[in-house]
Amino acid sequence: MKIYQHEKIITFNISAMKKILVIGASGQIGTDLTIELRNRFGNQNVIASDLRNASDEVMKSGVFEILNVLDKDGVKDIIERHNITEIYHLAAILSGNAEKEPAKSWDINMQGLFNILELAKELKLNKIFWPSSIAVFGPSTAKTNTPQFDIMDPNTVYGISKLAGERWCEYFFEKYGVDVRGLRYPGLISYKAEAGGGTTDYAVEIYYEAIKNKKYECFLSENTALPMMFMEDAIDATIGIMEADIEKVKIRSSYNLAGISFDPKTIAESIKKHIPEFEITYKPDFRQAIAESWPQSINDSVANKDWGWKHKYDLDKMTELMLREVGKKLSK
């Protein structure tokens, strides 16, 4: 009994010390990540924030703050008011949208990150998570099984900002000891929130259209393979690297992260196993060139070796789950 009481006190103290701020909580990743963080660390210990309101689930399960990451004083005020110890900084403009507004996207992606790194240094925050992307790679990078270290010559607004961001993260760790941890997410596939304007969005849209209309016109060509991942795996990796012992996190720019690699034709075949009449057609747009500049598959053996990362979902397992969950959502 005594031991039980002692354990309870320790658990309470640990959660009281950890106070998380999620910036970009209304987006595709933030919607899932905020809920999982609240499940693991307590609703009261995870503050959600964004420029716009979040999903009902996020809004109702804990505190939500309207926040613009470009307003450094506003972010500082929220950190101090809530005694924040860790930040997951997700706010950014993704690859497709960034090509339409380069200056604005550079500002949000770079100045936003810079504000968070500066505040982490100034306020001595415990940890920062910041996501990079497969977009840091470019036309000269190895196309398949891309290693952690390779030529990096991104040719998109988004990719340039992610590569610069990686360098700043490593710089703040080396110069100022800011404990910043990052992952190069592949294209992420989920059913709770819409995808946010990226090149990999087709792999989310296709499930909605398959259920609604039994057909989908894809903005990438049929053989354009890209690295992808189901959201549950991405959330596990995100919390996994943040909870890893500090000495295990040896790379401070960002780790390669791999899940599944497929092209539009292959995901369509996976859907046809459940909806045989489903038809896909192809009408590549400006995002085709972006996709062609990125790797087709990623080698994440360094993340596996350093902090034990391993993905769980394959394409067919993901398709089954996506069709079930999107189906439920659309029938409400």
Q: Which is nearer to ligand SER, 230 or 278 (CB)?
A: 230
One-letter amino acid for residue 19 of the chain: K
Interface with ligand NAD by CB under 6 A: which residues? 23-24, 26-30, 50-52, 67-70, 90-92, 94, 108, 112, 131, 133, 185, 187-188, 196-198, 200
CA 152 to chain centre: 20
133 bridge partner residues: 185
Of these partners, ligand NAD, ligand SER, none, which one is at the site of residue 108 (CB under 5 to 8 Å by kind)? Answer: ligand NAD
The catalytically annotated residue of 158, 202, 207, 313 is 158
To the query of whether residue 158 is one of the catalytic residues in this protein, the response is yes
Shorter beta-carbon distance to ligand NAD: residue 94 or 260: 94
Residue nearest to ligand NAD (CB): 27
Rg (CA), the chain: 20
Contact (CB, 8 A) for 87 and 20: yes
Binding site for ligand SER (CB under 6 A): 94-95, 133-135, 158, 187, 198-200
The whole-angstrom separation of Cα 45 and Cα 83 is 10
Query: Can you read off the two tokens belonging to residue 193?
Result: 């929130």
CB nearer ligand NAD, residue 91 or residue 211: 91
Q: 125 vs 229, which CB is nearer to ligand NAD? A: 229
The amino acid that residue 189 corresponds to is: I
Closest CB 121 distance from ligand NAD, rounded Å: 20
Least separation in angstroms between CB 133 and ligand SER: 3
Nearest to residue 305, comparing CAs of 244, 261, 260? 244
Q: Are 58 and 113 in contact (CB under 8 A)?
A: no
CA distance 254 to 238: 11
Q: How far is the CB of 112 from ligand NAD (least distance, A)?
A: 6
Which residues are tagged catalytic? 158
